[in-house]
Amino acid sequence: MKILILGAGGMIGRKLTAALLRKGELTGRPIQAMTLADVVETDVPASSVALRAVAADLSAPGVAAELVAERPDIVFHLAAIVSGEAEADFEKGYRINLDGTRELFEAVRREHAASGYQPRLVFTSSVAVFGQPLPPVVPETQVLAPLSSYGTQKAIGELLLADYSRRGFMDGIGIRLPTIVIRPGKPNKAASGFFSGILREPLAGLPATLPVGDEVRHWFASPRRAVEFVLKAAEVDTSGLGVRRTLDMPGLSATVGEAIEALRRAGGEEAVALIQREPDDAVKRIIESWPEAFDPQRALALGFEADASFDEIIRRHLEDEVAGNGKRA
Amino acid sequence: MKILILGAGGMIGRKLTAALLRKGELTGRPIQAMTLADVVETDVPASSVALRAVAADLSAPGVAAELVAERPDIVFHLAAIVSGEAEADFEKGYRINLDGTRELFEAVRREHAASGYQPRLVFTSSVAVFGQPLPPVVPETQVLAPLSSYGTQKAIGELLLADYSRRGFMDGIGIRLPTIVIRPGKPNKAASGFFSGILREPLAGLPATLPVGDEVRHWFASPRRAVEFVLKAAEVDTSGLGVRRTLDMPGLSATVGEAIEALRRAGGEEAVALIQREPDDAVKRIIESWPEAFDPQRALALGFEADASFDEIIRRHLEDEVAGNGKRA
Residues of B with catalytic roles: 150
- Chain B: residue whose CA lies nearest to A110: B91
Q: Establish if B125 belongs to a structural domain.
A: yes
In angstroms, the CA B132 to CA B99 distance is 26
Residue by residue, pLDDT tens for chain B (329 residues) are 999 999 999 999 999 999 999 999 999 999 999 999 999 888 888 888 899 999 999 999 999 999 999 999 999 999 999 888 999 999 999 999 999 999 999 999 999 999 999 999 999 999 889 988 889 999 989 999 999 999 999 999 999 999 999 999 999 999 999 999 999 988 776 778 899 999 999 999 999 999 999 999 999 999 999 999 999 999 999 999 998 999 999 999 999 999 999 999 999 999 999 999 999 998 888 787 788 999 999 999 999 999 999 999 999 999 998 875 544 44
Predicted structure pTM score: 0.93
Nearest-neighbour CA in chain A from B74: distance (Å): 24
Q: Per the CB < 8 Å rule, is B152 touching A146?
A: no
Give the CATH number, domain containing residue B274: 3.40.50.720
Q: Give how many domains chain A has, as a whole number.
A: 1
Boundaries of domain holding B102: 2-323
Residue A11 vs residue A42, higher pLDDT = A11
In DSSP terms, A122 is beta-bridged to A76, A173
Q: Write the Ramachandran bin of B250: left for phi over 0, alpha for psi from -120 to 50, otherwise beta.
A: beta
The sign of the dihedral angle between the CA atoms of A110, A115, A118, A124 is negative
Q: Establish if B328 belongs to a structural domain.
A: no
Among chain A, residues having any CB pair with chain B shorter than 8 Å are 90, 109, 131-132, 140-147, 149, 152, 155-156, 159-160, 162-163, 166-167, 242-244
Q: Are A136 and A292 in contact (CB under 8 A)?
A: yes
Q: Establish if A252 belongs to a structural domain.
A: yes
Among chain B, residues having any CB pair with chain A shorter than 8 Å are 90, 109, 131-132, 140-147, 149, 152, 155-156, 159-160, 162-163, 166-167, 242-244
Q: Write the Ramachandran bin of B253: left for phi over 0, alpha for psi from -120 to 50, otherwise beta.
A: beta
Backbone angles phi, psi at A53, to 5 degrees: -100, 135
Q: Per the CB < 8 Å rule, is A145 touching B90?
A: no
User: Cβ of B168: how many Cβ atoms within 10 Å?
Assistant: 11
Task: Work out the average pLDDT over A68-80.
Answer: 97
Q: Are B298 and B246 in contact (CB under 8 A)?
A: no
Q: Establish if A329 belongs to a structural domain.
A: no
Nearest-neighbour CA in chain A from B143: distance (Å): 4
Pick from B131, B146, B243: CB nearest A131: B243
In angstroms, the CA B182 to CA B224 distance is 10
In angstroms, the CA B221 to CA B179 distance is 6
Q: Establish if B329 belongs to a structural domain.
A: no
Q: Per the CB < 8 Å rule, is B155 touching A159?
A: yes
Q: Establish if A328 belongs to a structural domain.
A: no
Strand duo A2-6 + A120-126: pairing: unpaired
Q: Per the CB < 8 Å rule, is A166 touching B147?
A: yes
Q: Per the CB < 8 Å rule, is A244 touching B145?
A: yes
Nearest-neighbour CA in chain A from B244: distance (Å): 6
Tell me the DSSP string of B119-154. Answer: -EEEEEEEGGG--SS--SSB-TTB----SSHHHHHH
Question: Residue B151: which of B183, B187, B192 has the closest Cα?
Answer: B192
Nearest-neighbour CA in chain A from B209: distance (Å): 28
Q: Per the CB < 8 Å rule, is B243 touching A132?
A: yes
